[in-house]
Amino acid sequence: MLKNKDLLGLKNVPKEEIQLILEVADEMKKIVRSPHKKSPYFVGKSMATLFYENSTRTKSSFEFACSYMGGVFSSLNVATSSVNKGESILDTLKTIDSFGTDVIVIRHSMSGVPHVYAPHVKAHVINAGDGTNEHPTQALLDMLTLKQNFDSFDGLQVAILGDIKHSRVARSNIWGLSKMGATIKIFGPETLLPTGIEKMPNVKMCKSVKEAVKGADAVMGLRLQLERMTKGLIPSMGEFNKKFGVDEDMLSLANKNAILLHPGPVNRNVELSYDVVDCNQSAINEQVTNGVAVRMAVMYLLTRDNKIRSEI
């Protein structure tokens, strides 16, 4: 059903596959919202998560996605696993693969780790975030949220603000949204803009938060990825908030029906003001719900042979 065995990023996923995932996710969301939350789409199948980095939303939503589709899962606690006895990533993955796992979800602080190891296992590998590179299911859930709020991606303007350099979320969104026909308006501190960002497809570089937000249909704040940052890239959190933060006044410059997005975790009063997180335009909680639906869709589509959506 999907061309590749694994979902490692959106850079190489064609538009038609993104559309298919979003359509299936729309259906899956009905299950997430239903009172019984039961479906047969992963019955007899198993998933394992292997997170070398912290997570709240991504890891739990994969677990819920698996359960809502009738599958079984195991989440390896890396901190108490044999990783601490020196076991390599490859040996750990091969061990998980040998349990008969159908899907392995991996997160690692180093860019490229899932790409290097996916060919060595039979299971379908889903990249749940590799360093600063990609976080495909996050961008898919962001796109699902946009799809549910707007008629079409064509001509949609999405402002992405803050620490672009260290954000795998920004990169996956740029790859995905540009394929769907949206424009991505970028603004952040010069020290937190990666080289070459301006050459990515459909990217428009902005000179201020105001310029990026004005006329945008969606405004996405990003967390400062302090865990990936060498010190001294920003003067202070307070200064960052003054120059790069979004509050309700700033959001009011966006289009009337604009939505506020954030992948979480939010640092209130840093990238977003305390109140704007919970304002009417905020879709942050909806993004979390959509995260379960998107992960259900991806797991379902990766493990189908050639059965078609009419099964749903």
Give the footprint of ligand ASP on this chain (CB under 6 A). 129, 135, 168-169, 223, 263-264
- For ligand ASP, give the closer residue by CB, 53 or 248: 53
CA 60 to chain centre: 13
For ligand ASP, the closer of residues 31 and 104 by Cβ is 104
Kindly tell me which of 60 and 67 has the beta carbon lying closer to ligand ASP: 60
As a whole number of angstroms, the distance between CA 95 and CA 100 comes to 9
Dihedral angle sign, alpha carbons of residues 220, 152, 256, 207: positive
Q: For residue 245, what are its two tokens? A: 């933060």
| Nearest-approach distance from CB 204 to ligand ASP, in angstroms | 23
CB of 90: closest distance to ligand ASP in angstroms? 23
* Spatial separation of the C-alpha atoms in residues 248 and 15, rounded to whole Å: 34
C-alpha dist (Å) from residue 125 to 51, 131, 200, 247: 13, 16, 26, 38
168: DSSP letter: H
Instruction: State how far the Cα of 65 lies from the Cα of 203, in Å rounded to an integer.
Output: 32
By beta-carbon proximity to ligand ASP, the closer residue of 57 and 214 is: 57
CA distance 176 to 139: 7
176 closest CA partner among 19, 26, 45, 70: 19
Min dist. Cβ of residue 98 to ligand ASP (A) = 28
* Closest C-alpha to 7, from 139, 100, 109, 96: 139
Nearer to ligand ASP, 194 or 264 (CB): 264
Residue nearest to ligand ASP (CB): 223
Q: In whole angstroms, how close is the CB of 148 to ligand ASP at the nearest point?
A: 20
Q: Which structure tokens are listed for 97?
A: 């693969």
Q: Encoding tokens for residue 108?
A: 């690692």
Q: How far apart are CA 106 and CA 214, in angstroms?
A: 37
- Please report how close the Cβ of residue 192 comes to ligand ASP at its closest, in angstroms: 13
Q: CA-CA distance, 221 to 218, in Å (whole number)?
A: 10
Contact (CB, 8 A) for 129 and 212: no
Task: In angstroms, give the least distance from the CB of 261 to ligand ASP.
Answer: 11
Least Å from the CB of residue 64 to ligand ASP: 16
Please report how close the Cβ of residue 135 comes to ligand ASP at its closest, in angstroms. Answer: 5
Closest CB to ligand ASP among 70 and 264?
Answer: 264
CA distance 271 to 144: 23
Toward ligand ASP, which CB reaches closer, 45 or 166? 166
Q: Which is nearer to ligand ASP, 129 or 189 (CB)?
A: 129
Pick 124 or 135: Cβ nearer ligand ASP: 135
CB atoms closer than 10 angstroms to residue 180? 18
Query: What's the closest the beta carbon of residue 106 comes to ligand ASP, in angstroms?
Result: 12
